[in-house]
Amino acid sequence: MPGVVTKRGRTVSASLEWFEMDGLQTVEEAELEAKAEVEGWLEEERRQKAQSWVPKAGTLKLVMFEALTVGHTNREDIIAYVSKHHPEAVSSKSLRSSVVTALGKEKQQKVPLFTQYDTEYLLTREGRLAAGLEELTTEEEAALAAAAVESAASASKRRSAAAAEAETAEAETAEAETLELRPPPPDGWVWPRKGDRIDVEVAVGEDGPPVWVTAVVFAVLADGSFGARIELPDGSDQWE
């Protein structure tokens, strides 16, 4: 067919040796037309191939893939999406572990549809093609990856801080439980104040009978205990 670029039954390739032209076309015009048709064929083949990468209907992977295509990149957001929109994908009891396991296994696939940055996930080039999204430039991919790494690092710091706080609280609770609380004082007790004179019972010698003497309170602690200085009747000494 003069003037029409044809496949001639061959597999589409980048070679333009087979194109035909009529006398109304220059070689350059014919090459441009042929290149445009080849690119169209290649694009169609790529689209069909990308469609084959889409996860099967009813599978957990399809649900996660949908979450990524609508903009959910954080693991917790993906789990929440699965739970909210497709609770039948997995049993509620094992939902979280199933999603986390499936997300982690994607890198082992022949054609991974998304890649992992700790707790962040981004669609790969193939994943974007399968989702029918526009391809990203190298700079755009690098920017998204950097943002994912930063977000994952921030999330990791928050988890570490929360774990440290929980550990500290647990230790404080355990310590408080081990402390023996003193019994409350009897009703009617009068607490001394610094400078008060009180009578205290002391024993003079190991075998001597106890006697009552006057003591001056010189310190009162927060827990109610206090210190008192004993004044001997003859003023010759003081005991604390």
pLDDT at residue 124 greater than cutoff 80 = yes
- Three-state DSSP at 233 gives coil
Please report the domains of the chain, with CATH numbers, ordered by start residue. 60-153 (1.10.10), 197-239 (no CATH)
pLDDT at residue 6 greater than cutoff 50 = no
Higher pLDDT, 182 or 228: 228
The predicted pLDDT at position 13 comes to 44
Q: Can you spell out the DSSP letters for 205-219?
A: SSSSPEEEEEEEEEE
* Amino acid, res. 226: F
Instruction: Encode pLDDT of 65-114 as tens digits.
Output: 999 889 898 899 999 999 888 766 666 667 888 888 989 888 888 888 88
Q: How far is CA 43 from the centre of its chain?
A: 39
Closest listed residue to residue 83, CA positions, set 66, 100, 65, 96: 96
pLDDT at residue 145 greater than cutoff 70 = no
Q: How far is Cα 214 from Cα 197, in angstroms, rounded to an integer?
A: 6
Q: How far is Cα 228 from Cα 240, in angstroms, rounded to an integer?
A: 6
Q: Can you spell out the DSSP letters for 150-174?
A: HHHHHHHHHHHHHHHHHHHHHHHHH
Q: Is 203 left (phi over 0), alpha (psi -120 to 50) or beta?
A: beta
Confidence of residue 12 (pLDDT cuts 50, 70, 90): very low
Helix then strand count (H, E) for the chain reads 6, 6
Q: Can you spell out the DSSP letters for 101-133?
A: HHHHHGGGSSS-SEEEETTEEEE-HHHHHHHTP
Under DSSP, the state recorded for 213 is E
Are 131 and 123 in contact, with CB atoms under 8 Å apart? yes
Under DSSP, the state recorded for 209 is P
The length of the chain in residues reads 240
Q: With a threshold of 0.75, does the pTM exceed it?
A: no
